[in-house]
Amino acid sequence: METCLKILRRAKRFFQLRMKFMLTRLSSHRDFRKFRCNICGKVSSAPLSIIQGRETASCYYCGSTLRFRSIINALSLELFGKSLVLTDFPNSSELVGLGMSDSEIYAEPLSKTFKYTNTFYHRSPELNIVSIVPGMKNQADFIISSDVFEHIPSPIEKAFANLYELLKNQGVCIFSAPYRTADTTEEYFPDLFHYKIVDENGKRKLVNKTKDGDIQVFDDLRFHGGSGSTLEMRFFSRSSLLKRIGEAGFVKIKVHEEDLPEYGIIWDKNSPVIISMSKIEESL
């Protein structure tokens, strides 16, 4: 038993030395950048290529990604007029915030600062953005909807209209969705009506009955990190997405493309960035 422990300790020590050696080599050969994570407030460092990975955990301490830090940066700019670290946000428990399947990495601190609720499609607290209950309208000072709208069944106009409805006057939505430079958004299933996902010999297929009663079967499905509601329904074009947001009534539409290296926000030019948009009703 003692020998066994000794071997384990030696193996652990060897692994640690090996990691240290590799990190030292990496830091001398790769473009390491130091930054203060604007979510946990800690000073971290990572190679530039890792920081620029939109979905790559790059804060050593909280695991935040470029997308998460950019969401908090956009939220801070819109609510406070400057980019603050989340741990330095003034306590604003009177402000009502809604998340749509937000990451716990920033949802948890948001819930301590604001009257914030993270909502989900499949579990409580529930929010189905294509069918909102009247009591939820005009309630939110801010909404975060990040990488959700590519999963919502068509027609997508209804979801954008409801996003607008959920906000109070002067409220802001921090939004993101994967997009590309193209003329139009590619809708994978434009005629969805009654549909279900079936499993046939280990392969998932989407079977849809259109309004006209036609049966469609799709077997080239793309899921994001799971199944069911994470099915990718479309690939937005950047210009169509911005146009759609404007058509829903949003104003002050801002595309947050600027880098903020001190907070580990350094964009690759092809990455879909964060968008903020406001509801401002002239008549009020």
Residues that bind Zn ion (CB under 5 A): 37, 39-40, 59, 61-62, 64
Instruction: State in angstroms the smallest separation of the CB of 217 from Zn ion.
Output: 44
Instruction: State in angstroms the smallest separation of the CB of 62 from Zn ion.
Output: 3
Q: What phi, psi does 80 have (nearest 5°)? A: -120, -5
Instruction: State in angstroms the smallest separation of the CB of 147 from Zn ion.
Output: 19
- Which H helix or E strand runs over 107? helix 104-113
- Tell me the residue nearest to Zn ion as measured from the CB: 37
Decide whether 57 or 280 has the Cβ nearer to Zn ion: 57
CA distance 213 to 177: 31
Instruction: State in angstroms the smallest separation of the CB of 146 from Zn ion.
Output: 17
Decide whether 21 or 61 has the Cβ nearer to Zn ion: 61
Decide whether 109 or 171 has the Cβ nearer to Zn ion: 109
Decide whether 86 or 245 has the Cβ nearer to Zn ion: 86
CA distance 265 to 74: 11
Q: How many CA atoms lie within 13 A of 259 on its CB side?
A: 12
Q: How far, rounded to the nearest angstrom, does the alpha carbon of residue 167 sit from its chain's CA centroid? A: 19
| Cα–Cα nearest to 191, from 180, 207, 170, 171 | 207
Instruction: State in angstroms the smallest separation of the CB of 38 from Zn ion.
Output: 8
Q: How far, rounded to the nearest angstrom, does the alpha carbon of residue 68 sit from its chain's CA centroid? A: 7
Decide whether 9 or 112 has the Cβ nearer to Zn ion: 112
